[in-house]
Amino acid sequence: MPQHAAAEIAASNRRRGQAADGVSFWHTLYLGTSRYNMAPGTADPPADALFPMAFLVEQDPGSTASAHFHQSDQFQVVVAGGGTLGLHEVAPLTVHFTAAHTAYGPIRAGAEGVSYFTLRNGFDPGARFMSRSENRAALRSIEGRRHREAVAGPLPPASSAREVLIGPDPDGMAAWRYRLPAGERVLGPDPAAGRGQYWLVCDGSLVRGSETLRRLSCVFVASDEPAFEPVAGPDGLEILALQFPRRPNA
C-alpha cells in the first residue's frame, strides 16, 4: 500500500538543523528517517534496500550549501523562495534529479531563503562534501559511476492536464505534472517502469479514501504496486509524479 504524509502532520517534525559545512536550516521529516532524527546507535538500513526518505529543507536566506553527493538517487523540488543550484536558477517549481554518487551544487539561497523537498528511494547517511579530499577520493574510486543530473523549471503555472517534465529515460527515470479540476481522477504511469514514485501535492488537494492531503503533502508508491490514481479535492489538484530509475541490470 502506498505510504503518505500529510503536510499538517509532518509539520510537527520541524526541527532546526546544521549541516557539516555549517549551513543552518529548518528540517521537516515526512517519510522514513534521516541523520537529524535517528536515535544514537541506530543501525543504517541496507544501502540497496527500497527505503523512502522524504523531508523538507528550509535553507536560511543568503546561505550556501557546499557542493556534495549522496549514496542514493534523489529528486529535489523547490517549493518556496529561490536562488541557484549549481549553474541553474531555482524557484517554485523547480524539479532536480541527481543519481547516486553524482556531485551537485552548491545551493545558494536568495534573500528570502530557499525551501525544497528532498525525496529518496533509499537510505542515505548524509551529504559528502566535495571540499573534503577523502570524499573526492571515494567518489573517484566507485567503478562504473557516471554523472547524472536533470533539471526542469522554474515552471510556470500549469496550463495543461498533463506535462512531461523529464524523460522518460530508458531506465524509467521521469517526472510529470498533472492538473485536475475538482473531483477528477487520472491513472498515473505504471510504477513497474521505475524503482518507486513520489507524488507531491503542489496546489489544491488530493483525496485518498476518507483523508484529504493538502498542499505539500506527499505519497510514495513502490514499483510492485498498482498505478496510482490521484483524485482531485474540491479545490482541484496540481501534483507532481517523480519516478526513480531502475537499478542497472534490473
Cα distance between residue 234 and residue 88, in whole Å = 35
145 Cβ neighbours under 8 A, 6+ residues apart: 100, 101, 102, 139
pTM, rounded to two decimals: 0.92
Residue 1 inside a domain? The answer is: no
Residue 184 inside a domain? The answer is: yes
Please indicate, yes or no, whether residues 140 and 176 belong to a single structural domain of this protein. Answer: no
Please indicate, yes or no, whether residues 124 and 232 belong to a single structural domain of this protein. Answer: no
Please indicate, yes or no, whether residues 98 and 219 belong to a single structural domain of this protein. Answer: no
Please indicate, yes or no, whether residues 184 and 144 belong to a single structural domain of this protein. Answer: no
Residue 40 inside a domain? The answer is: yes
* pLDDT tens string 127-155: 777 777 776 777 777 776 778 899 999 99
Predicted confidence at residue 250, as pLDDT, reads 53
Residue 137 inside a domain? The answer is: yes
Nearest 10 degrees: Cα torsion 78, 97, 8, 185 = 100
Predicted confidence at residue 146, as pLDDT, reads 78
Residue 143 inside a domain? The answer is: yes
User: What are the grid coordinates assigned to 117, written together?
Assistant: 523537498
Distances (CA, A) of 86 to 21, 61, 64, 83, 210: 16, 17, 11, 10, 42
Predicted confidence at residue 179, as pLDDT, reads 96
Average pLDDT of span 172-181: 97
Average pLDDT of span 8-26: 90
Q: Where are the alpha helices (DSSP H) in 47-177?
A: 133-140
Please indicate, yes or no, whether residues 44 and 123 belong to a single structural domain of this protein. Answer: yes
Residue 206 inside a domain? The answer is: yes
Check whether 44 has a pLDDT greater than 70. yes
Check whether 249 has a pLDDT greater than 70. no
CATH assignment at residue 45 = 2.60.120.10
Q: Domain containing 224: what range?
A: 162-243
Residue 157 inside a domain? The answer is: no
Cα distance between residue 175 and residue 230, in whole Å = 15
Please indicate, yes or no, whether residues 57 and 119 belong to a single structural domain of this protein. Answer: yes
Check whether 101 has a pLDDT greater than 60. yes
**3-class state of residue 113 by DSSP:** strand
Cα distance between residue 194 and residue 22, in whole Å = 35
Task: Report how many domains make up the chain.
Answer: 2
Read off the amino acid at residue 193.
A
User: What are the grid coordinates assigned to 142, written together?
Assistant: 566507485
Cα distance between residue 242 and residue 176, in whole Å = 7
pLDDT averaged over every residue in the chain: 91
Report the share of the chain in percent with pLDDT over 90: 68
188 CA to centre of own chain: 18
Please indicate, yes or no, whether residues 133 and 191 belong to a single structural domain of this protein. Answer: no
Domain boundary among 108, 131, 152: 152
Domain boundary among 152, 187, 210: 152
Please indicate, yes or no, whether residues 180 and 208 belong to a single structural domain of this protein. Answer: yes
Name the residue among 183, 182, 184, 197 with its Cα closest to residue 227.
Answer: 197
Residue 236 inside a domain? The answer is: yes
Name the residue among 215, 236, 217, 239 with its Cα closest to residue 228.
Answer: 239
- Residue bearing cell 524557484: 91
Q: What angle do CA 95, 101, 103 make, to 5 degrees?
A: 60
Domain boundary among 89, 119, 152: 152
Report the share of the chain in percent with pLDDT over 70: 96
Task: Tell me the DSSP string of 203-215.
Answer: EEEEEETTEEEET
